[in-house]
């Protein structure tokens, strides 16, 4: 086999391997995106709703968080 033929074969192999790697990476990325999308759909909607409520009424959100913290602290102190 001549040197130029050997380089051509190596180049074709490298191109083929690169295409396989790219395809595998794309497939993994698509699978990860689908899993993230399904897992996040309900929880992301809930988080968005909470964020919107806090942004619209920050004083009420702070009061609710403070009361919740007070009650949790009281329960912990009572059981200790």
Q: Mind listing the pLDDT tens digit for each residue in 26-45?
A: 777 777 776 666 666 667 77
Quick one: average pLDDT of 2-16? 74
Min mean pLDDT across 32-36, 44-48, 61-65 is at 32-36
- Greater confidence (52 vs 39) lies with 52
pLDDT at 39: 60
Cα–Cα distance between 33 and 44 in angstroms, integer? 14
Q: Which of the four pLDDT bands, split at 50, 70 and 90, describes residue 48? A: confident
Q: In total, how many domains does the chain have?
A: 1
- Per DSSP, helices labelled H in the chain are 3-56, 58-79
Domain that holds residue 39: 3-79
């Amino acid at each position: 086999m001549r040197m130029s033929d050997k380089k051509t074969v190596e180049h074709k192999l490298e191109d083929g391997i690169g295409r396989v790697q790219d395809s595998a990476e794309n497939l993994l990325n698509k699978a990860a995106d689908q899993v993230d999308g399904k897992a996040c759909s309900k929880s992301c909607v809930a988080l968005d709703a909470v964020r919107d409520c806090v942004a619209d009424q920050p004083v009420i959100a702070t009061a609710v968080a403070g009361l919740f913290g007070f009650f949790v602290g009281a329960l912990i102190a009572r059981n200790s």
